[in-house]
């Protein structure tokens, strides 16, 4: 998905079709950041349409990045209990 710039997602969900100004503050901020940084959908929305591979973050770099950004575990792990340290 990263190699194709999330082409399959963007068939329906391209930034040009979004009314970013009407999105919740967090989504608006992150989508504007994604536009500026030329991120692809899968950079933030991995696992939405397909299961995340078992070895997806085997080196922990993705989780460390999310931790630095202050993202909630619930962004990806819907309904799961949070660890004592929040991660």
Q: What is the CA radius of gyration of the chain?
A: 14
In this predicted structure, the answer to whether residue 14 has a pLDDT above a threshold of 60 is yes
> Would you state the pLDDT for residue 82?
60
Residues 70 and 85 in one domain: yes
User: Per-residue pLDDT tens for 20-65?
Assistant: 889 888 889 989 999 999 888 888 887 776 666 677 788 888 888 8
Residues 42 and 17 in one domain: yes
Q: What is the pTM of this model?
A: 0.54
Residues 68-78, buried b or exposed e (16+ Cβ, 10 A)?
Answer: eeeeebeebee
Structural domain including 81 reads 52-87
Residues 18 and 56 in one domain: no
Residues 45 and 60 in one domain: no
Residues 41 and 26 in one domain: yes
Residues 44 and 5 in one domain: yes
Residues 3 and 43 in one domain: yes
The C-alpha atoms of residue 10 and residue 40 are separated, in whole angstroms, by 9
Residues 2 and 36 in one domain: yes
> Would you state the pLDDT for residue 26?
87
């Amino acid at each position: 998905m990263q190699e194709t710039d999330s082409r399959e997602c963007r068939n329906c969900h391209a930034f040009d079709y979004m009314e970013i100004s009407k999105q919740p503050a967090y989504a608006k901020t992150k989508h504007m950041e994604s536009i500026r940084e030329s991120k692809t959908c899968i950079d933030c929305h991995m696992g939405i349409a397909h299961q995340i591979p078992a070895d997806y973050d085997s080196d922990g770099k993705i989780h460390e990045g999310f931790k630095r950004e202050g993202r909630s575990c619930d962004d990806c792990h819907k309904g799961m209990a949070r660890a004592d340290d929040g991660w």
